[in-house]
Every structure is written in C-alpha cells, then in structure tokens.
Amino acid sequence: MSNRTGYQGIHLTGSLPFANADEVFDFIGSELQPWVTRVPDGETGERKNWVLTQSRHFFENPAFDIVDATATVGRKLVKIKDGVRPEDISFPKFEYAEFATDSYPLFKKAKAEGLDPVGSADGTRHHPGLVPEPTAGQSCCLQHHR
C-alpha cells in the first residue's frame, strides 16, 4: 500500500456491500488503509438499506394501515389508522446502540491485526452507523396528505 500522499483521506459514511462487519474491516484494512481513519461497521445484514431498516417499525405497527403502491409512489406505504391519535403511536426500540456495541469487539480485533494505519496521529477509530434523522423513516414509509 502506498504512503498517504496526495489524499486527505476517505470518509466512509456507513453501508458497504459486505455480509458482515468482519468482511468490512478486512476490506478496509487491506484495500483502503492508510486513507481511512474512521471505520464504519458497514451497516450490513438487516441494516444494508439504511433507512429501510426502519420500515418494519411502520409496516408491523398496529397503529398503521398499509397502503398499496400506486403509479405515483412505486412502493407500499402506511397511514395512521382511523381513530388513532398521533400521540398514541409508539415504536419498538431501534437497535442502533446494540449494533455499534456488537461490532466494536470485531473492530478491536481488526485493529489488533493491523487495521491501524501507519503514521496516523490519532489512530483508527470505530465509526458506528448513526441513527437516521427521524423524518427519514417517515418520508420512506408514511403516506403524506396534501
């Protein structure tokens, strides 16, 4: 791998096309070092479609009715059931903290095996997938009224 000249670095924001965090860390360590110093776990598995990960919280929620896809919107959506007040809607826990906690030991193992780039002043750090902002899930799944 060449030295860190000519590039300020590569910032990976989340989803990568691998089966699991171990594959992500192996790829970053072998192909992208020394340019990556903040390493995501790749948002693999059920998280691979970022905001669509939240869709089950809408489609499996008893407060919503499913609305079939239309020509205008090419995917199914949900709408609040008649008689349900918005303040009475609740969602199950979104497991972003657990995903980060689960991937951290894999990151530490990869780092011990050489993921830390030579010459990096502060070393390589774990960059867990962040919770999408609240309206991302709504805009993906919730039917909007005009």
Using the predicted structure, report yes or no on whether residue 120 has a pLDDT greater than 70: no
Domain residue ranges of the chain, discontinuous segments joined by +:
21-141
* Residue 121 or residue 91, greater confidence: 91
Q: Does the structure show a pLDDT above 80 at 14?
A: no
Q: What whole-number distance in Å separates Cα of residue 110 and Cα of residue 28?
A: 10
Reported as a single tens digit per residue, the pLDDT across 24-58 is: 989 988 888 878 888 888 888 777 776 777 788 88
Q: Which two tokens stand for residue 6?
A: 């000519």
pTM: 0.68
What is the model's pLDDT at position 83? Answer: 96
Cβ-in-10-Å burial (0-12, 13-18, 19+) of 129 comes to buried
